[in-house]
Structure 1
């Protein structure tokens, strides 16, 4: 059965009781249960309390119209989204501090933040405020709120704060909880029920991470804040239908075309919402056998390179922040009975100091099984092939980060958070990428506009693919890989794919091989005579030697990689590009390099070996 079928098959009395008792069954105790909160792990509590103390030493962030308007004036999103995010984060931290300490000063700090959130003219981010844009304005209309990620993230804070601080807020600031409910109804619950035009519902068949991200937050708003039982039931039914639509759109292989970074805000958001529904029904819902939930839980281990590096495609960093909600994955593994999934999560537990998102942090803190989990080595698969999203990830030895790892991507150029990267690959040595996918730049007004491909990091000439007859790949679903086949003879993994349909002209085939015996990665491109091919390779690290047929690079991890090609093609052109984007700098440093080689008549071969120290 599908998710929706499982939910609708539940006995009506079971569902009614679940919604009526959702606050009691949510699995997160309120502030009054001091024994629970005072027994939380010191490392987790200390991180929260240290941040809360630092916050109290600074003024609350100011949200200015001039910053909001910058999205339309000069395309800058961060001027407003930064302070707005800081306000949400500071409020969440104050709520967490209040439940951990029970102190009135922390409750007052949380109340201040909650009211400041309520006082915002809009919870919507400027980049999403199409209602104002349609009026030719930069000021949101409070009578027509736009339900986007910003609104969902904000109402989630109000809902969880009301759950855990309710009695304390009634004692310290009577009337605040009424205001929370009014704002949640006006800005989120009523628009969700009455207006079904929201693009993230996926009614047109286009599904992406906004669907589970927003639906999950709307769910907690309905369960914890809505006092109208009729509307609460209606909201939950619509949420389940929306989550079902998202899950049915995901590939059966458990892949995620939005990449590892957005997996945490797509499939992982779905898992959190399903977990809450399962808890309040006392396990009667039991969605975990619905395909492809088991395969989706294995995606992080399949994308892991090691040492904090991951295979990234589209808008995602190759080295994401370590503070991911690994407890979500651990509970997911427990529910599907997968030891490797639990091990993947537990391996990161000691890295965790603070989880962003109030609901995620509260659920993590309350999960005793998570804190009792023993950290174990990462379960690193020897190879993973995801045929629907067309992604192969292979490493030298399963369970080890040593040696070469190779990731080869097919797909098409209309994926969610797309880069023009059909046929590109990532090669990592000792876990550290050396031929790389640069990932996500800082979002601006052009990031999701028709000017998206003006950004250098999303263009194909800044991926590890050729330029064919002087032309890059273009955006659109028609530009794709075909005949992608994976073969694993002996101790090799080999991907073969046809890239002819990825370019406006020319025929091109690519073979990418990880040879475990030879400890090499080999990329071979072939094409008919008369086609002009310029091979492009994007390199992270420090070039230390460059001569015809050879380039030696010291990787960001300190290993030495050597790139070899036919010396008759010369040295090629090695370019250095300064990286002035803060998000990219955090991953790659101040500069990256690109090697461009004019290829031969109908064949080019690149071999990667471990270089001399």
Structure 2
């Protein structure tokens, strides 16, 4: 798409580096003095915290901890903090223009350039290196997320403050150029075998592709002074981005989940925006259906406020940043997406414990917001269906969070950031969580290793799914939903599927037909119906799991009540003749789950009173009226 249309004409299409001004440089005092006062005050007050900042050491014991005990948080936090503080100081210096933060900017640049590696230990596993070696090498460079983010940060700082830095010493900019070339641009040109590039047969790429390619484009567009090398690098990035677009689900659904949309769909947008700006609009694929659908996905899976449909590793509370969503909507002429962006918080105050996306912050500073909106102005799309990914969303009424909300997934158990969750569902009431997908904990070596599915929150028994004969769903593309049927009328939306193949043969399931539906109208309800039969009519033990942040209250046979918001309750109705209900607190939660759900969650277990060979069970969820 990109390469075919534009890849051979880049010298004619692109502005030269010295002519391209995507963001006002610090020397353009009129533009920087004209930013909104709130933004100016925020960045300067943040930077004032770090005028005497002691740059944290990068300890080799923290690097080796990944290999010894699977711990990565200490190392990552030190890396994030260094980069975030440098970004804050640099933007504040561009805003104020008085030199007050320059010494610390230089300190930060050299602290980061002196790091032995920008590659975190877990990411070394993505290419052929000595896996027995637990310490980094100053010559072992490769293109991965930390290298990409670090390079982009330094390139933009050099672009913004070059005259100021050159006034101190030209060696500052020269060091940035040397390190970015050595660690990012040269390895990128030398390799076609990075998995995320999209050149390996049968390997589907994910958010790494636009994330890394965005940094690569930034480097070649702003830093590379050899026109032919610049052309080759940008053309290769286009080709790689084509692979991302080509292998993206054709319905635009981000199967990694909305909290990964920012580097995935949002990352693609920023790549396309860079190319559009650098060519004065001559490179433009914003009218392509897949590009529009990748953006539209975000508002189709928005529930209310910070909550989005959160299957897989995704956080339930996502903040894609309203500014990039607004720009995406305007570029694709999608009014609903622009409206979604206006309803979301802007990029806001940066954290020092996560990635510092300097390009996004700079664009936000100079972005004109058209109109005002609040959270109630989100589009609140009534129905959405993603046929390729097999995800359905439905709410009681268009344009409002009031009432019941249902999301259901089919798919398979080899999706990006996969959980074993084929057939699971999410239910909300009035925009509040009722039955949910937990998400994931802080990453560790185990998260992406061979023991991944030993993590309890990835298993089907901690999703809204049945467990048969003590056997859980299995990971892999062969474990999937089949015969998936979506139905929609004004009065009802439903998704029906066969989920037997999501379980291994030892579960003994011949057929398990799950149908989840939202019924609208005066008798609104969510119904989940399971019709099942065991192989050879052999009776088996079965229990059904439901995960909720609401404290359950058993109010009678076949009825459990949940207070989902103060004074507002929902009732779960189940077949008390066949099912015995119990509630288990989920207390072994750590920081990431607690950020989404609080200190405690509950698992409802509806267990068959006797072993069963076949049957049909219906769960009904209704809002309490008294």
Mark yes or no: TM-score above 0.5.
Answer: yes
Query: How do residues 166-205 of structure 1 correspond to structure 2 at under 5 angstroms?
Result: 166-204=162-200, 205=203
Structure 2 counterpart of 1:273:
271
Structure 2 counterpart of 1:455:
455
- CA deviation string 1:511-567 (max 9, x = no partner): 111011122111000112635431111111222345431111122676322111122
Q: 1:82 aligns with which of 58, 77, 86?
A: 77
2:356 is equivalent to residue 334 of structure 1: no
Change in Cα spacing, 1:564 to 1:338, as seen in structure 2 (3 Å) is same
Counterpart secondary structure, 1:568 = coil
Residue 301 of structure 1: CA displacement? 0.6
- The separation in 2 between residues aligned to 1:47 and 1:409, in whole angstroms, is 41
- The separation in 1 between residues aligned to 2:589 and 2:40, in whole angstroms, is 36
Structure 2 counterpart of 1:464:
464
Counterpart secondary structure, 1:298 = helix
Residue 452 of structure 1: CA displacement? 0.2
- The separation in 2 between residues aligned to 1:143 and 1:194, in whole angstroms, is 14
Query: How do residues 268-307 of structure 1 correspond to structure 2 at under 5 angstroms?
Result: 268-307=266-305
Query: How do residues 15-414 of structure 1 correspond to structure 2 at under 5 angstroms?
Result: 15=13, 18-21=14-17, 24-56=19-51, 58-130=53-125, 134=130, 136-204=132-200, 205-320=203-318, 322=319, 324-349=320-345, 352-354=348-350, 356-367=356-367, 369=368, 371-375=369-373, 377-414=377-414
- The separation in 1 between residues aligned to 2:131 and 2:251, in whole angstroms, is 44
- The separation in 1 between residues aligned to 2:464 and 2:552, in whole angstroms, is 17
- The separation in 2 between residues aligned to 1:606 and 1:293, in whole angstroms, is 38
Change in Cα spacing, 1:373 to 1:65, as seen in structure 2 (3 Å) is farther
Gaps of 5+ in 1: none
Higher deviation after alignment, 419-428 or 136-145: 136-145
Is the CA contact 1:91–1:110 (under 8 Å) kept in the aligned structure 2? Answer: yes
Counterpart secondary structure, 2:155 = helix
- The separation in 2 between residues aligned to 1:585 and 1:374, in whole angstroms, is 32
Q: 2:551 aligns with which of 533, 536, 542?
A: 542
- CA deviation string 1:368-399 (max 9, x = no partner): x3x34422610110010000010001011111
Is the CA contact 1:547–1:571 (under 8 Å) kept in the aligned structure 2? Answer: no
Counterpart secondary structure, 1:105 = coil
2:498 is equivalent to residue 498 of structure 1: yes
- The separation in 1 between residues aligned to 2:583 and 2:78, in whole angstroms, is 40
Change in Cα spacing, 1:288 to 1:351, as seen in structure 2 (3 Å) is closer
Is the CA contact 1:427–1:436 (under 8 Å) kept in the aligned structure 2? Answer: yes
2:534 is equivalent to residue 524 of structure 1: no
Aligned length, in residue pairs:
604
TM-score by length of structure 2 reads 0.93
Structure 2 counterpart of 1:476:
476
2:618 is equivalent to residue 605 of structure 1: yes
- CA deviation string 1:259-310 (max 9, x = no partner): 1111111111011011110111111111112330011111111111102111
Residue 133 of structure 1: CA displacement? 6.0
Is the CA contact 2:259–2:317 (under 8 Å) kept in the aligned structure 1? Answer: no
Residue 432 of structure 1: CA displacement? 1.5
- The separation in 2 between residues aligned to 1:45 and 1:349, in whole angstroms, is 17
Counterpart secondary structure, 2:136 = coil
Counterpart secondary structure, 2:77 = helix
Is the CA contact 2:437–2:463 (under 8 Å) kept in the aligned structure 1? Answer: yes
- The separation in 2 between residues aligned to 1:92 and 1:217, in whole angstroms, is 15
Counterpart secondary structure, 2:142 = coil
- The separation in 2 between residues aligned to 1:462 and 1:57, in whole angstroms, is 47
Gaps of 5+ in 2: none
Query: How do residues 439-450 of structure 1 correspond to structure 2 at under 5 angstroms?
Result: 439-450=439-450
Structure 2 counterpart of 1:533:
542
- The separation in 2 between residues aligned to 1:30 and 1:446, in whole angstroms, is 43
Change in Cα spacing, 1:79 to 1:536, as seen in structure 2 (3 Å) is same
Is the CA contact 1:75–1:444 (under 8 Å) kept in the aligned structure 2? Answer: yes
Structure 1 counterpart of 2:488:
488
- The separation in 2 between residues aligned to 1:516 and 1:382, in whole angstroms, is 11
Q: RMSD across aligned C-alpha pairs, in angstroms?
A: 1.9
Change in Cα spacing, 1:525 to 1:570, as seen in structure 2 (3 Å) is closer
